[in-house]
Structure 1
Amino acid sequence: MDTLARSLGSSGLPHPICVDIAREAIAAGDVDSASARAEAFRRTLLTDVVNATGVLLHTNLGRAPLAHTQRASAQTVEFDLATGARGSRQSAVGRLFSRLTGAEDAMVVNNNAAAVLLVLAAVAAGRDVPVSRGESVEIGGSFRVPEVMEQSGCRLVDVGTTNRTRLSDYERAVARPDTDVALVMKVHPSNYRVEGFIEETSIAELATLDVPVMADIGSGLVDSTVPWLQGPPPAWLAGEPAAVQAIADGADIVTFSGDKLFGGPQAGIIAGRRDLIDLCRRHPLARALRPGGLVLRSLQDTALTYLDKRAATDIAFWRMVDRSTADLRADAERIVAQIGDGRVSVAEMDALPGAGSAPGITMPSVGLVVEGDHLVSLRSHVVPVIARSRDHRTFLDLRAVDPSDHAVIVAASIEALR
């Protein structure tokens, strides 16, 4: 067994893992399978892949791609350099998000579900929260608005109907003698869209009510005018809620994700009125849901990138978005020439923002079409390439592929076609 385990050293796996794999192969009576077992184990670990699916923020592939490095050094997570005393891990990043969104104050937790839970627990526990029936949704990973509200200790009050909810519906809920409304909650449906005979109540209308307004805008667009991009906002962003506009329209508190349209690490951002943020900050759940120093530093770097107006070049998601179809076509033609196989061609495609952002909306893209279904072979490449297939053809969309990975596309395609 020791000899077999040592023979697996080239797999790059730690020796104790190689021993376990060798033991499994011997127990199965198939010593020759040890190498394949080691490779299978290695591929269960988190690994870099090339996302050629056309879904830019692919939840299964980590959503927003993010490069972040820092020294193995102590940092001022909870230390105030001015006083030499203990500080708050929320102060630095909170100040930056306050500036970005136009809110009085801000804080961060480990994801947006946690942000919603914390706000409701801190502000509305034991009280009523009206939500439109059309916004009482389930988002990916079984995140159900009614269940999160139940866990927070508040009481859900359904208002309106699935397709139409008016301001008067909220007014009646607030005025009812049998309710004790703490706030009204507006939820971005995220991964679905209702069309046709519909009506919804805007944040500006809800702000006329005599209770605070909470807006869960979900996908994390900071500013709908996208001032970091050249030219007007992309058409696919039309209707996507944004933090700056939500605060300006009168939302008292907004929550959104850090790893979607914001383009940073997984986190939940809470921004709004200082008194409400303070309630969240002092709630016992805040400690359980707080992010660590790595996430805080990464969020800080991402926020500073926006404030420096470098988002279009320095944030991977916005680099993908900002690429022209002409550039993508030129890249596709170069890749096809390098592959040198008549079974590969260039084609126009439709990419998706992904991660529940802009549901039902696509953006023009360009990629490769390979005759035959090669998904397994592409995934088996030394750097796995994740694509999609339909009608016995394989599609590799280039919008989410960094140009530095084009060589991987070439090598993996040649290997698959072989």
Structure 2
Amino acid sequence: MPESRGLRTLPSVASLLGSDAARSFLRSHPRAVVVDALRAIVAVARAAVDGERIPLSREAWTDRILSMLPGEIASRESLPMRRVINAAGIVVHTNLGRAPLPGEALAAVLETARGYSNLEFDLAAGERSSRLSHVEGMLRALTGAECAHVVNNNAAAVLLCLAGHARGRDVIVSRGELVEIGGSFRIPDIMAESGARLVEVGTTNRTRLSDYENAITGRTALLLKVHPSNFSVQGFTEEVRTADLARLGERAGIPVMEDQGSGALIDLSSHGISGAVSLRQALSAGPGIVTASGDKLLGGPQAGILLGKENLVAPLKKHPLSRALRIDKMCLAALSAVLRLYADERRARERVPVLRMLLEPEERVRARARRLVRAIRVSGKGLSLAIERGGTSPGGGALPGILLPTALVAVTHPRIPEAVLEERLRGGTPCVVARVGRGKMLLDLRTVRDDEIPELAGAVSAIDRPPYDG
């Protein structure tokens, strides 16, 4: 097929590399980056040629392609993981990195990562020590546990417990607690990988203590209770309390393990948020082992926390899997800094971002929404803004069924659909993740920091202006 006239006017990559603009970039950027950027732009131009009503000259194409070169190079050299303004309102947003860290944790990570540290070295004795010595004492003090251990995430903590205490034996769990959470993480799959044998009892909506008791045999190694994570069962339901299961385990001589999940270190119910059992409360109910995440309601880095009785937790530290699942120095530094904040609950509520966002009064969120609306510059026939009341999920599977009151800035445009507004905002700089509902783009101010208001206002102000054609 003969080449179209438009394609014949496109400059080659070789000729573009000979231009003054390209030579300038070659002096400051790797040649491979410049060449790949030009090839990508030319490929897009080639696909767009047929859409040109009047074919462009070679000179016009050259100018257009070279004008796009700086942006293409910048996108190729930028870090793939970018900062995002979370205007979706979900506090523990798994897809956006879960818990944002307090300044104290960021400083600890920087100090630890920039050089050497006493990660596994006892400075006083001048000999090797355990890396977990930096957090074990604080975890015991904050939760009342006899013993504490930390691995790289809660799934790893569950895997380690099952492999260490139930490989080749039975683990009894309620059928209604065989959960799947984000990323297709399923309790039965983890159990299978650990070598333990799953024994389901009860039904999806009702499980009684007698169901566990009747399933116990000489092969039973653990009684397992699992936090429902990201769902709730309502209506005709019944479940066994941890305290009752612990008493059964004590009578039968079988350890009870609870995957508590959320990792809360303070009693959130005293602040009006029901359903969040703190780690101290979970342990007081009597299970031998409790596991939890470090980056959910605790508000720290990704980590899997194991707490409980000395005879059950301590052997896991020497299990071969512990080394494969161990927490790295930067997460350990961040966790240590966050745990120190919890020595004073008031300070933790003020300094740990997850707690601050969860507990912030609705009126303060609404005041931030008003500041955002005042800062957004709208044209006469462009964006329309309104402040609305709404509800938002804490997220992270920590508090299923709980909605926090929040303030939303609803954004609409007479000619641009709300989904397009959201897409433009998400693809801009800074990246902003909002949500769509009620025929509007909704910005939830519960998860937007005060210092992010100017950036967010600028991003919203620009979504109906060039380079867009809305």
Considering the TM-score relative to the shorter chain, is it more than 0.5? yes
Q: Which residue of the partner structure matches residue 229 of structure 1? A: none
Q: How much does 1:240 deviate? A: 2.6
Distance 1:321 1:29, change over 3 A: closer
Q: How much does 1:326 deviate? A: 1.4
List alignment gaps of at least 5 residues for structure 2: 1-13, 47-61, 466-470
Give the residue type in structure 1 aligned to 2:37.
I
C-alpha separation in 2, matches of 1:130 and 1:151: 16
Give the residue type in structure 1 aligned to 2:126.
G
Q: Which residue of the partner structure matches residue 450 of structure 2? A: 403
C-alpha separation in 2, matches of 1:121 and 1:384: 41
- Structure 1 residues 272-321: Cα deviation after superposition (integer angstroms, max 9, x where no partner): 11122122111111001001110001000011111133111111111112
Give 2:262's match in structure 1, choosing from 195, 219, 230: 219
Give 1:416's match in structure 2, choosing from 445, 448, 463: 463
Q: How much does 1:417 deviate? A: 3.5
Q: Which residue of the partner structure matches residue 424 of structure 2? A: 377
Residues 271 and 359, structure 2, Cα contact 8 Å, conserved in 1 = no
Residues 375 and 454, structure 2, Cα contact 8 Å, conserved in 1 = no
Q: Which residue of the partner structure matches residue 280 of structure 1? A: 316
- Structure 1 residues 176-213: Cα deviation after superposition (integer angstroms, max 9, x where no partner): 3xx41111110001000000111111110011123111
Residues 258 and 269, structure 1, Cα contact 8 Å, conserved in 2 = yes
Q: Which residue of the partner structure matches residue 98 of structure 2? A: 63
Residues 99 and 301, structure 2, Cα contact 8 Å, conserved in 1 = yes
Q: How much does 1:40 deviate? A: 4.9
C-alpha separation in 2, matches of 1:13 and 1:185: 56
1:339 aligns with 2:386: no
Q: How much does 1:22 deviate? A: 3.5
- Structure 1 residues 355-405: Cα deviation after superposition (integer angstroms, max 9, x where no partner): 112112110001211114211221233211110112431100000000000
Q: Which residue of the partner structure matches residue 233 of structure 2? A: 194
Q: Which residue of the partner structure matches residue 210 of structure 2? A: 168
C-alpha separation in 2, matches of 1:75 and 1:413: 44
C-alpha separation in 1, matches of 2:80 and 2:398: 28
Q: Which residue of the partner structure matches residue 113 of structure 1? A: 155
Q: How much does 1:13 deviate? A: 7.9
Q: Which residue of the partner structure matches residue 93 of structure 1? A: 135
1:181 aligns with 2:210: no
C-alpha separation in 2, matches of 1:264 and 1:15: 41
C-alpha separation in 2, matches of 1:201 and 1:281: 30
Q: Which residue of the partner structure matches residue 20 of structure 1? A: 36
Q: Which residue of the partner structure matches residue 404 of structure 2? A: 363
Distance 1:385 1:201, change over 3 A: same
Q: Which residue of the partner structure matches residue 295 of structure 2? A: 259
C-alpha separation in 1, matches of 2:134 and 2:37: 47
Report the secondary structure of 1:276's partner residue.
helix
133-142 or 333-342, which deviates more: 333-342
Q: How much does 1:93 deviate? A: 1.1
1:387 aligns with 2:434: yes
**CA RMSD for the aligned pairs?**
2.3
Q: Provide the identity percentage.
A: 43
C-alpha separation in 2, matches of 1:9 and 1:361: 55
Give the residue type in structure 2 aligned to 1:234.
G
Give the residue type in structure 1 aligned to 2:242.
I
Greater fraction of residues in helix: 2
Q: How much does 1:144 deviate? A: 0.6
Structure 1 runs of 4+ aligned residues shifted over 3 Å read 1-10, 12-20, 22-31, 33-44
Q: How much does 1:331 deviate? A: 1.9
Q: How much does 1:330 deviate? A: 1.8
C-alpha separation in 2, matches of 1:15 and 1:251: 61
Q: Which residue of the partner structure matches residue 351 of structure 1? A: 392
Q: How much does 1:27 deviate? A: 6.8
Q: Which residue of the partner structure matches residue 195 of structure 2? A: 153
After TM superposition, the score normalised by the length of structure 1 is 0.91
Aligned residues: 407
Alignment map for 1:231-242 (pairs within 5 Å): 232-235=270-273, 238-242=274-278
Q: Which residue of the partner structure matches residue 323 of structure 1? A: 360
- Structure 1 residues 81-104: Cα deviation after superposition (integer angstroms, max 9, x where no partner): 232111111122122112111101
Distance 1:9 1:114, change over 3 A: farther
- Structure 1 residues 143-189: Cα deviation after superposition (integer angstroms, max 9, x where no partner): 11111001001111111111111111111112x3xx41111110001
C-alpha separation in 2, matches of 1:136 and 1:333: 44
C-alpha separation in 1, matches of 2:255 and 2:23: 64
Give 2:326's match in structure 1, choosing from 290, 309, 316: 290
Report the secondary structure of 2:224's partner residue.
strand
Q: How much does 1:21 deviate? A: 2.8
1:127 aligns with 2:169: yes
Report the secondary structure of 1:365's partner residue.
strand
Give the residue type in structure 2 aligned to 1:204.
A
Indicate the structure (1 or 2) with the bigger Cα radius of gyration: 2
Distance 1:9 1:123, change over 3 A: farther
List alignment gaps of at least 5 residues for structure 1: 227-231
- Structure 1 residues 9-66: Cα deviation after superposition (integer angstroms, max 9, x where no partner): 89x9876544433454467776726455445546771111110001111111101111
Give the residue type in structure 1 aligned to 2:271.
P
Give 1:143's match in structure 2, choosing from 182, 185, 190: 185
Distance 1:13 1:86, change over 3 A: farther
Give 1:250's match in structure 2, choosing from 265, 277, 286: 286
After TM superposition, the score normalised by the length of structure 2 is 0.81
Residues 123 and 279, structure 1, Cα contact 8 Å, conserved in 2 = no
Report the secondary structure of 1:50's partner residue.
strand
C-alpha separation in 2, matches of 1:95 and 1:14: 50
Distance 1:391 1:351, change over 3 A: closer
